[in-house]
Amino acid sequence: MTAIQEIPLKTIKGEDAKLADHAGKVLLVVNTASKCGLTPQYAALEATHEKYRDQGFSVLGFPANDFGGQEPGTDAEIADFCQSSFNVAFPMFSKLTATGPDKHPLYAALTEARPEATERDSAFREKLERYGITRKGPGEVFWNFEKFLIGRDGEVIGRFTPDITPDDPLITQAIEDALAK
């Protein structure tokens, strides 16, 4: 069991949880938002969760309002939106802070373990920078829908920029490689 697996969490329904509750699985941890241009990724996250679930995989969603106020709702409102808009069945957690001095210990551990994300190209980052949006510091999560891949042993084995969708071959290959171990 790794230290990251023991960090206290809350489900979107307010129940105590830890990543250890998913021990032995490959996990894709994603900071989500309901009012973001990338919000349609919920559909691909759910499809990826369904595709690999029976092989010991799960997507874990962590709503965060860190970027442009794009997740303003309560946990109940977020849960309702995810269910009614995207039929999300993967585990969702209570809204947290994913970046900055008040970031949740889970995101502190994730970004420390993987300070840099795999980036297909710099177009997404450059687009945000044209709007004056920059990373809040070295290693920080850049925007909504950044993805961290955690292996069965609880180690962070990958990180992907927000514009790389869950069904992109970069992510699916990483998931399949992790599942094969």
Q: Count CA atoms closer than 13 A to 17's CA, side-chain side.
A: 18
pLDDT at position 156 over 80: yes
Q: List the catalytic residue out of 20, 36, 43, 108.
A: 36
Structural domains counted in the chain: 1
Task: Identify the bridge partners of residue 59 per DSSP, sorted by sequence position.
Answer: 28
- Continuous segment of H or E residues that includes residue 147: strand 147-150
Mean pLDDT of 157-169: 96
20-47 tens-digit pLDDT: 999 999 999 999 999 999 999 999 999 9
Give the per-residue pLDDT at 138: 72
Residue 161, classified by CB atoms within 10 Å of its CB into exposed (0-12), middle (13-18) or buried (19+), is buried
Measured in degrees and rounded to the nearest 5, phi and psi for residue 103 equal -65, 150
Name the average pLDDT for the chain: 94
Q: Where does the pLDDT of residue 1 fall: very low under 50, low under 70, confident under 90, or very high at 90 and above?
A: low
CATH code assigned at 81: 3.40.30.10
**pLDDT at residue 171 above 80?**
yes
82 among known catalytic residues: no
Rounded CA separation 179/181 (Å): 5
Range of the domain at 68: 3-180
Determine the 3-state secondary structure of 135 from DSSP: coil
Q: Residues near 99 by Cβ (< 8 Å), separated by ≥ 6?
A: 64, 66, 107, 136, 137, 140, 141
Provide the percentage of residues in the chain whose pLDDT is more than 70. 99
Strand-pairing partners, residue 118, are: 160
Nearest Cα to Cα of residue 176 among 84, 85, 52: 52
> pTM of the full predicted structure?
0.94
Per-residue pLDDT tens over the stretch 79-138:
999 999 999 999 999 999 999 999 999 999 999 999 999 888 778 888 888 877 777 767
